[in-house]
């Protein structure tokens, strides 16, 4: 059983076939339409497509004019790209601890703010929105920009508003295993029209007109200007065609994920050795991940593997890696404790109810048996086998 799985409908496949037959497969009309539709879905005026969320985060830092030596506060319990983009610009990643939802903790953010702090990257972990009211209040008080890392959170809501619209810039991932599954794709969203225009240039080498926009009424206009150093961060219409279809069903697909999560919660809710995720009442989570915590994480991963069930760990804190170790300032006790207990369980649109129940059965049987043995340390292996404990 896979941990993640991309599921594409025939409708999505045929949309791609249409692009292949159109003769225009690069950055073009499908991308423009997807940007428009996604912005409308969020209720935000501007969306600019990129080839990854990493590219989107990098562009977001460029939009706020990040400079070498500027500090960017972010969680360490995230994929490395959330913090790596700061290093692209020779800025300094500053790690803050997480709260009970495993999102960045506003209390620790405040402790980490200095005169060099330029931005906060708020990662909506597993799809659960960060405490954006407190984060925005801190940012406003200290004149700091807020970038939302929504890689896990397509469709998530905070106080009834879609994430990505709550800070200064929002960055999304539509990687193959994300809720809105394309392949490799990202999106920058903002209320700022000038930033949106600049983002369009930055994603295409700093050129002020894309190849598509230079073609008007069948005529090609070759002239353009290069405004600043840019990047090859553009997507193409093949990927955008997938996005157009996947977006139509995002809320439906997220509802299916929620149904699977509800089954996990019911089936594991009475297991005293398993800690379930905390979800606040004022949010709607996309449920990109379903994780649990247990003191027997590694043993449970092996037990699941023996039953052909894949699981994962999201994440080893970034400061454990050589690249980021020099940037750790003080201890992050919650991050350090939690990551050693974390295990992500299978969650994707290809799962059926019986699949989830089988995962839960393996977990419940394993924890019951292993902890029964721990409570009777003197029991011999022969006796344990005889009574069905191993």
Number of other CB atoms surrounding residue 328 within 10 Å:
16
CA distance to 106, 174, 201, per residue, from 111 (Å): 9, 33, 36
Q: Which pLDDT score, from 0 to 100, does residue 213 have?
A: 65
Band (219; pLDDT cuts 50, 70, 90): low
CB proximity list for 282: less than 8 A, separation 6 or greater: 158, 159
Q: Which pLDDT score, from 0 to 100, does residue 279 have?
A: 98
Q: Which pLDDT score, from 0 to 100, does residue 208 have?
A: 86
pLDDT of residue 25 exceeding 70, the answer is: yes
Q: Which pLDDT score, from 0 to 100, does residue 382 have?
A: 35
pLDDT of residue 384 exceeding 70, the answer is: no
Band (309; pLDDT cuts 50, 70, 90): very high
- The predicted-structure confidence for 131-156, as pLDDT tens digits, reads as follows 999 999 999 999 999 999 999 999 99
Question: What are the start-end ranges of the H helices in 203-296?
Answer: 237-248, 250-268
Q: CA-CA distance, 105 to 159, in Å (whole number)?
A: 18
Q: Which pLDDT score, from 0 to 100, does residue 151 have?
A: 98
Task: Tell me what the mean pLDDT of segment 21-49 comes to.
Answer: 97
pLDDT of residue 95 exceeding 70, the answer is: yes
Helix, strand, or coil here: 370? helix
pLDDT of residue 230 exceeding 60, the answer is: yes
Helix, strand, or coil here: 232? strand
Helix, strand, or coil here: 71? strand
Q: Which pLDDT score, from 0 to 100, does residue 218 have?
A: 59
Q: CA-CA distance, 159 to 170, in Å (whole number)?
A: 17
Q: Which pLDDT score, from 0 to 100, does residue 375 have?
A: 61
116 is annotated as an active-site residue: no
Band (220; pLDDT cuts 50, 70, 90): low
Band (372; pLDDT cuts 50, 70, 90): confident
Band (237; pLDDT cuts 50, 70, 90): very high
pLDDT of residue 245 exceeding 60, the answer is: yes
pLDDT of residue 383 exceeding 70, the answer is: no
Spell out where 191-251 has E strands. 215-216, 219-220
Q: Which pLDDT score, from 0 to 100, does residue 81 have?
A: 98
- The predicted-structure confidence for 281-302, as pLDDT tens digits, reads as follows 999 999 999 999 999 999 999 9
pLDDT of residue 195 exceeding 70, the answer is: yes
CB proximity list for 37: less than 8 A, separation 6 or greater: 244, 247
The alpha carbons of the chain give a radius of gyration, in whole angstroms, of 23
Q: CA-CA distance, 371 to 384, in Å (whole number)?
A: 12
Backbone angles phi, psi at 80, to 5 degrees: -60, -25
pLDDT of residue 17 exceeding 70, the answer is: yes
- The predicted-structure confidence for 49-76, as pLDDT tens digits, reads as follows 999 999 999 999 999 999 999 999 999 9
Which of the residue ranges 100-109, 209-218, 268-277 would you say has the lowest mean pLDDT?
209-218
- The predicted-structure confidence for 247-286, as pLDDT tens digits, reads as follows 999 999 999 999 999 999 999 999 999 999 999 999 999 9
Backbone angles phi, psi at 105, to 5 degrees: -90, 115
pLDDT of residue 92 exceeding 80, the answer is: yes
32, 178, 232, 284: the catalytic one is 178
The two structure tokens encoding residue 83: 């913090």
Q: CA-CA distance, 31 to 139, in Å (whole number)?
A: 33
pTM: 0.93
Q: Which pLDDT score, from 0 to 100, does residue 222 have?
A: 73
Helix, strand, or coil here: 367? helix
Q: State the number of CA atoms in the 13 A half-sphere of 364 facing the CB.
A: 14
Number of other CB atoms surrounding residue 72 within 10 Å:
26
Q: Which pLDDT score, from 0 to 100, does residue 370 have?
A: 84
């Amino acid at each position: 059983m896979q941990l993640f799985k991309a599921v594409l409908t025939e409708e999505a496949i045929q949309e791609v076939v249409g692009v292949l037959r159109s003769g225009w497969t690069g950055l073009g009309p499908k991308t423009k339409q997807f940007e428009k539709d996604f912005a409308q879905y969020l209720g935000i005026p501007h969306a600019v497509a990129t080839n990854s969320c990493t590219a989107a985060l990098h562009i977001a830092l460029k939009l706020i004019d990040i400079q070498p030596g500027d500090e960017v506060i972010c969680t360490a319990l995230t994929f490395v790209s959330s913090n790596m983009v700061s290093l692209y610009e020779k800025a300094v990643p500053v790690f803050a601890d997480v709260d009970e939802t495993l999102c960045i903790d506003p209390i620790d953010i405040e402790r980490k703010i200095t005169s060099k702090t330029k931005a906060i990257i708020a990662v909506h972990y597993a799809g659960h929105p960060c405490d954006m009211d407190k984060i925005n209040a801190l940012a406003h008080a200290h004149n700091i920009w807020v970038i939302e890392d929504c890689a896990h959170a397509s469709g998530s809501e905070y106080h009834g508003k879609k994430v990505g619209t709550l800070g200064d810039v929002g960055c999304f991932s539509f990687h193959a295993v994300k809720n809105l599954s394309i392949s490799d794709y990202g999106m920058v969203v903002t209320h700022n029209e000038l930033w949106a225009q600049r983002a369009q240039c930055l994603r295409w080498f700093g050129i002020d007109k894309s190849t598509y926009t230079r073609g008007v009424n069948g005529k090609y206009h070759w002239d353009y200007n290069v405004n600043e150093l840019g990047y090859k961060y553009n997507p193409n219409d093949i990927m955008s065609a997938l996005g157009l279809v996947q977006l139509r069903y995002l809320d439906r697909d997220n509802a299916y994920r929620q149904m699977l999560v509800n089954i996990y919660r019911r089936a594991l809710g009475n297991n005293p050795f398993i800690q379930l995720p905390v979800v606040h009442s004022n949010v709607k989570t996309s449920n990109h991940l379903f994780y649990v915590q247990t003191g027997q994480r590694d043993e449970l991963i092996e037990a699941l593997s023996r039953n052909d069930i894949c699981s994962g760990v999201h994440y080893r804190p970034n400061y454990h890696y050589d690249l980021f170790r020099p940037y750790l300032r003080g201890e992050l006790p919650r991050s350090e404790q939690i990551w050693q207990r974390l295990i992500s369980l299978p969650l994707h649109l290809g799962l059926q109810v019986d699949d989830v129940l089988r995962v839960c059965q393996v977990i419940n049987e394993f924890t019951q048996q292993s902890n029964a043995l721990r409570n009777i340390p003197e029991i011999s292996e022969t006796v344990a086998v005889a009574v069905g404990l191993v």
